[in-house]
Amino acid sequence: MSVVVVWTGRHRLHEPGGEVWVGVRTPGTELPERAERIRAELAGARIVEAREQPDSALLAVHDGALLDYLSRAWSDWQAAGLDRDPGQDRVVPYIFSHPGLFSAGVAPVDPAAASARAGRFAYDTMTLIGPGTWEAARAAAEAAITAADLVLAGEPAAYACVRPPGHHATRGAFGGSCYLNNAAAAAARLRSGGAGRVAVLDIDAHHGNGTQAIFYEDREVLVGSVHVDPAAGWFPHFLGLAGETGAAAGAGANRNLPLAPGSGDEPWLDGVRLLSEWAAAGGAEALVVALGVDAAGGDPQSPLEVTAAGFRAAGRTLGELGLPTVLVQEGGYDLDTLGPLVREVLEGVEEGLA
Ligand SMILES: [Zn+2]
């Protein structure tokens, strides 16, 4: 395989310790083994270590307040003794600065209590913070940016084999197992490195709400997503519908293609083709693929039914755009098929680019 793979072992520092879903601590599926399985599948590929990046590379897509919070959330939690009393070994929010709390002109204050602070930045209870979460999340973003640098330096395609995933993280909030938006950071680097217009195409089974939010008013970053219909009862539930098409200068630069639960190769690949044609017609000069493989039939996290052949065909379609291409790992939770499905997409991209 000729696609260069960017890797960081620092992902292992993030042990989510499960999720709190409907108030119950469950084992969760965003496990360190995910990245290890993919890496093992790609053992013969060229591997490049993720390079450290300055804060400015993260500030291109995130608020400083979010970065500051994430960098000290765990130490604040520990300093407040919450890991001993009541004995919660991960940062879990309990109150949220919901917009309905505030009258016009009243802004949320930074809460004094560590137990409350998470609710200023988290939008769900499933995205827990432990001792190594910040370092791992930062390493994932740095890997995606490194992949962008490799493509800017002339690699036809580079794949960032990362976790935690990123496409649910917005400019100022985290959730959906995501802390920093890796794909958005890669797109920002492609832009600052000279690409006039960048397309981020998200083929994860779930809507890339974070990436959409970050670039919603930006006409130079086209954001397209094909995903299971949130209106049919799927994460992120509150948005991700076809009517969300961008705003202000970014009007028309966002595209959502929600699919019915149970959709398989044909409607899904139609979606990938439509997004690719849309990106080409929109003048994209570089491509970021938010590469989740949880649309697979056997994945426990989504009701889509895409096959291995479907993933390969999607890769080919994306490769046929002929653009410098950064692929960033998002979801995919069936440990036995995760690696092979990623390989199908990467080999498809190679075939398409050739
Ligand atoms: Zn997903």
Which two three-digit tokens encode residue 208?
Answer: 């890339």
160 near 327, Cβ under 8 Å?
yes
User: Which tokens is 131 given?
Assistant: 């001792």
CA of 322 to the centre of ligand 1 (A): 26
CA of 168 to the centre of ligand 1 (A): 9
Indicate whether 246 pLDDT > 90. Answer: yes
Full-model pTM: 0.98
Task: Decide if 37 contacts 332 (C-beta within 8 A).
Answer: no
Give tens-digit pLDDT for 212-241: 999 999 999 999 999 999 999 999 999 999
What phi, psi does 329 have (nearest 5°)?
Answer: -65, 135
pLDDT at site 121: 98
On whether the CB atoms of residues 209 and 306 are closer than 8 A, the answer is no
Give dist(CA 212, CA 228) in Å, integer: 16
What distances in angstroms separate CA 151 from CA 120, 129, 147, 286, one per listed residue?
Answer: 36, 32, 6, 9
pLDDT of residue 255: 98
345 to 121, 161, 221: CA distances (angstroms)? 33, 13, 23
E runs forming strands in 54-125:
none
Question: Does 256 score more than 90 pLDDT?
Answer: yes
Task: Encode pLDDT of 151-183 as tens digits.
Answer: 999 999 999 999 999 999 999 999 999 999 999
Task: Indicate whether 1 pLDDT > 90.
Answer: no
Q: What residues are annotated to the active site?
A: 168
Cα–Cα distance list, 187 to 57, 238, 301, 340 (Å): 11, 25, 26, 26
Q: Across the chain, what does the average pLDDT equal?
A: 98
d(CA 10, CA 137): 9
Percent of the chain exceeding pLDDT 70 equals 100
Task: State the pLDDT at residue 320.
Answer: 98
**Ligand 1 mean position to 108 CA, how many Å?**
31
